[in-house]
Chains A and B, each alone.
Chain A
């Protein structure tokens, strides 16, 4: 079992470009999350999903969109990247009643 995987691991974009980050899980979890992590800021929730076909805004959703067309995949899109979106992005999933979250390895994104 791969657990939670993220694609790509690293990416460099120019301001205004678009991209999609993919999170895939084989744990059959209902809940999936996208976080961003900036130095000294901890993890901040961007968007989340409570099941296939559902999405909702988190703490810092502006500039991002998400889709959950299949239970195992959660996509994070940046339509027009800005330097302020330079960050490490983590995907996480949970399915247990204890809500422990399982994190993917992260995607390091730099916007020039």
Chain B
């Protein structure tokens, strides 16, 4: 089942902060975050694994609440280059297929 992202869209001024949430009805092993600019491919931002392990870019932070099956992506001091659509992808530990189920995205617009 597809994870639910909120908000669907957000508009910021440069320097402002934003939080994007991802919630699943299934038990999760991992949460992935990707950013996609218009007409381009999604680009990896961060992975959060059950147990607290993380891998991602230095300027991006995120949290993963395993019990609540939720993750949040924190964008601080936003820059114009942060504009794009943010997707979370959730993974469960069923089999070894390393499949992800993606949310429908959060459109972030950063204005000067």
Instruction: Please list the residues of chain A having a beta carbon within 8 angstroms of any beta carbon in chain B.
Output: 31, 33, 35, 40-45, 48, 50, 56, 58-59, 90, 94, 98-106
Contacts and interface: CB of A to CB of B under 8 A. Distances in A.
B2 A42 contact: yes
Given A101-B44, A105-B40, A42 B97 contact: no
B103 interface: yes
A40 B42 contact: no
Given A90-B41, A98-B55, A103-B41, A44 B47 contact: no
Nearest to A49: B97
B32 A43 contact: no
Interface residues of B, number: 25
Given A42-B103, A42-B104, 6 more contacts: A41-B104, A42-B2, A42-B105, A45-B101, A101-B42, A106-B40
Given A42-B102, A42-B105, A50 B44 contact: no
7 contacts: A33-B99, A42-B103, A43-B42, A43-B102, A100-B55, A101-B32, A101-B42
A59 to B, nearest CB: 7
